[in-house]
Structure 1
Amino acid sequence: MSEQAYQVIARRWRPKQFSELVGQDHVVRTLGNAIEMGRIAHAYLFVGPRGTGKTTSARLFAKSLNWEDGPSLDVPSDSDIGQAIMDGRCLDVIEIDGASNNSVDQVRDLRDECQYAPAQCRYKIYVIDEVHMLSQQAFNALLKTLEEPPPHVKFVFATTESHKVLPTIVSRCQRFEFRSIPVPLIIGKLDEICKAESIEVDEEALGAIARMAMGGMRDAQSILDQMISFCGKSINQRDVLEVYGLASREMIESLAKFLVEANYDQMIRITDEFSSEGVDFYRALLDLSEVFREILLTSLRESQSKISPEQCVRILDSLREGEDLVKMGLSEKTNFEVTLFRAVESGRSRSIDQVIRKISGMIPDDVKKKRPEQTNDLSETPSVEMETPPKRGNSEPETEDQAPQPEQTVQEKEVAHLDVPVPGLSGHEEKAAQEEPTHLTGEYDTNTPLPPKEVRQIKDSKQIEQRIGELPDGIRNIMEEKFKGEFVSIEKIDESLLI
């Protein structure tokens, strides 16, 4: 085979039938049913990552519609029209690159050409690749034709960035999602190619190539083609890692183990090995994230896992945050190490709720129910004490965990004043107020007027009792349990004294 006639593996092994399309069974089934039932739409939108078969599916669909004895999903390989469509020689199947033909004038020319009947096929099919690259004016010029095209015209759009396509265009099309191809399917296809090409390759090497392809069959075939040029007829995993700067699966799993154990010395050692072998740190970080994803799934299935799901999630968050740091930073190695250290600390940390739950579980139940004892030292108690008046007739009964309190003496009923400046009082008056506490020697009567103060009081006893009764139960419980007191009056502060 001459050098000029050589074709790369991705072109030679391009699917020629829908049955050869890998990983897109849902698309094949839908298009096949549409052809058999005669429900062929006028516009289709193929969306998905690169190398998943969007443009190839558009060609296969055009071949199925224009076959001489069709339409049919399965077209014989000896069909002249089918072969011309797959080779790009058919006049009625027009492939347009949206990146280079994105002006409004070119779309207007396309709109005018739609009025003419096909030359030799049943349908005139326009395949616009990378349709998201069309300009706003080009999209608008295409709207009317796309909504009501001639009966002999079909449109097939392909794009990797569907969010850039106008919603008015998407609503006029049937949308098909092309998925990333799973690694096992890529390995199976590569193994088939290697056997047909008489290439010896081990399974680990195929796995490394498939993971590096990131779900794209074309990427995997291009990598395989390059590895054949590098290694010849025999390919092993070491060759793939050396050419593309990848870390072995064993090294990534060891790094994950040391990260969980917080073994900084071993993590630094592995990082140094990555640096000396020319490993791509960004790719190593992605592989490490994939390992922790597998650990997370395992911890969710097994209750006896060494690491909890919460720890895995925190570690994955740290690794994800470090991706941009490693990719865009000046020193990949330093940023990679910093990301690992942050992941270690994230895995060892605990949320506040977890700490509170653990501490609460360590406290015995009898201690939880025990009331806090009152201290006689005013320096250790709250700075305000409320007197305890006689029980009201409509008071609620005490709970079981509250012990009855002995009657307080006159000395215990002394009111401690706040050591805080009172608005509206001079320094001398404030000092005098602190040195002369008020002693209450009898039972408190709500009808007895209080001593005159700088603040105005609500003197209506019924209004006072009504206001006290409206206090929330939570405030009452706090005052009774913490301060051994109860609200007995409400004072209205002079508005002029408020700040």
Structure 2
Amino acid sequence: MRILGHGPILEFLPRSGAQAFLFTGPEGVGRRAVARWYAAGLNCPQGFPPCGRCASCRLEPHPDYLEVASQGETRSGRRARQPQIRLEQIAPREEGEGPSLLEWLATYPRHRAKVAVIDGAHLLGEAAANALLKALEEPPAFARLILIAPSREQVLPTLVSRCLEVPFAPLPEALLRTLSQDPEALAYAEGSVGRLRFALEQPAAFNQLTDRTQGVLEAMGQGPAQTLEALELLLEHEEALPYLARRLGQALPVESPAYGQALEALQKAQEALEAYVGEELVRTWLAFRLALG
């Protein structure tokens, strides 16, 4: 398994005696890839780095590796704007497909160690977080738990205090250039190998995102109606508002009051969407706030 960058972390993890970790850092910089690498090395007969050839390394999915992530849909079947890791994903339940995290940890590994990853620890509901505390306080000797979140401040203090934080930084552009020399893709990546791979592997979607973002930036100087029309197209993309925020400097001087007001409007719009405020209302409000004319 080839990991791009993060050399000090790869050297540290095999030597650490901790059983619970908190991987923090920006989206797409390699936190999940390192978690999988760590799990592979724990179960590989040759240790670290994992050989990639033995019976354990070749297993996919691996029986001793579990990822718990937020649900993409609400219980009513609607797309979740504010995903959440639910209690039944952590604690034992009477019905449902697959075991919960605590049930999975209660059985011995098929190989050497079980590694559970809570992908989005900042999205744990209160009940789910309280249930997870039991595993963090008294993990089985064969278990390792890895919580992944943007920052320690976004995770409940009771969980943070029981984990060893491992901070991940954006990757240097020189490293990303080993994957691509495309200046537009590198600018979009901003140190995130995940974003760079999206740009390289899904060029049509990436080009549409960049074109529609540019359309909003140009429409901002033409008036609310034009801005609204451009926003309706852009908001079909999941990363629309964060990417638009990163590109605002192309339309507004970063030292101007208008730039700060536009950033604030984008943040409030994101929060409103996550709170299930009507999409049409949010788009209209945002168009008026962004329009310069």
Question: CA shift at 1:217, angstroms?
Answer: 1.8
Question: CA shift at 1:225, angstroms?
Answer: 2.7
Q: Equivalents in 2 of 1:318, 1:91: separation in Å? A: 53
User: 1:61-460, aligned counterparts within 5 Å?
Assistant: 61-70=38-47, 72=48, 74-84=49-59, 87=60, 89-99=61-71, 102-103=86-87, 106-108=90-92, 109-119=100-110, 121-160=111-150, 162-191=152-181, 206-227=182-203, 229=204, 243-246=211-214, 284-287=247-250, 315-316=255-256, 318-325=258-265, 329-331=286-288, 334-335=291-292
Q: Equivalents in 1 of 2:245, 2:127: separation in Å? A: 40
Q: Equivalents in 2 of 1:76, 1:54: separation in Å? A: 20
Identify the match of residue 41 of structure 1 among 18, 25, 29: 18
Residue pair 2:68, 2:89 contacting (<8 A) in 1 also: no
Amino acid at match of 2:107: Y
Q: Equivalents in 2 of 1:242, 1:126: separation in Å? A: 36
Q: Equivalents in 2 of 1:128, 1:105: separation in Å? A: 10
Q: Equivalents in 1 of 2:131, 2:40: separation in Å? A: 28
Residue pair 1:208, 1:240 contacting (<8 A) in 2 also: no
Number of aligned residues: 239
CA RMSD after TM alignment: 3.7
Percent of matched pairs sharing the same residue: 23
Could you say which structure has the larger radius of gyration?
A: 1
Q: 1:131 to 1:322 in 2, by over 3 A?
A: closer
Q: Mind listing any 5+ residue stretches in structure 1 that lack a counterpart?
A: 1-15, 192-205, 232-238, 253-267, 293-314, 338-499
Q: 1:212 to 1:149 in 2, by over 3 A?
A: same
Question: CA shift at 1:155, angstroms?
Answer: 0.8
Q: 1:139 to 1:209 in 2, by over 3 A?
A: same
Q: Equivalents in 2 of 1:25, 1:287: separation in Å? A: 35
Residue pair 1:187, 1:207 contacting (<8 A) in 2 also: no
Q: Equivalents in 1 of 2:288, 2:169: separation in Å? A: 35
Partner of 1:495: none
**1:3-33 Cα shifts (integer Å, max 9, x gaps):** xxxxxxxxxxxxx23xx323x33422322xx
Question: CA shift at 1:57, angstroms?
Answer: 0.9
2:4 is the alignment partner of 1:21: yes
Q: Equivalents in 1 of 2:115, 2:259: separation in Å? A: 47
Q: 1:156 to 1:334 in 2, by over 3 A?
A: closer
Q: TM-score, normalised by structure 1?
A: 0.41
Q: 1:271 to 1:184 in 2, by over 3 A?
A: farther
Residue pair 1:67, 1:79 contacting (<8 A) in 2 also: yes
Q: Which structure has the higher relative contact order (CA within 8 Å, separation 6+)?
A: 2
Q: 1:316 to 1:30 in 2, by over 3 A?
A: farther
Q: Equivalents in 1 of 2:289, 2:85: separation in Å? A: 39
Q: Equivalents in 2 of 1:98, 1:333: separation in Å? A: 31
Residue pair 1:97, 1:129 contacting (<8 A) in 2 also: yes
Residue pair 2:22, 2:166 contacting (<8 A) in 1 also: yes
Q: 1:287 to 1:183 in 2, by over 3 A?
A: farther
Q: 1:148 to 1:319 in 2, by over 3 A?
A: same
Amino acid at match of 1:102: R
Partner of 2:278: none
Question: CA shift at 1:62, angstroms?
Answer: 0.3
Q: Secondary structure at the match of 1:45?
A: strand
Partner of 1:52: 29
Q: 1:244 to 1:190 in 2, by over 3 A?
A: farther
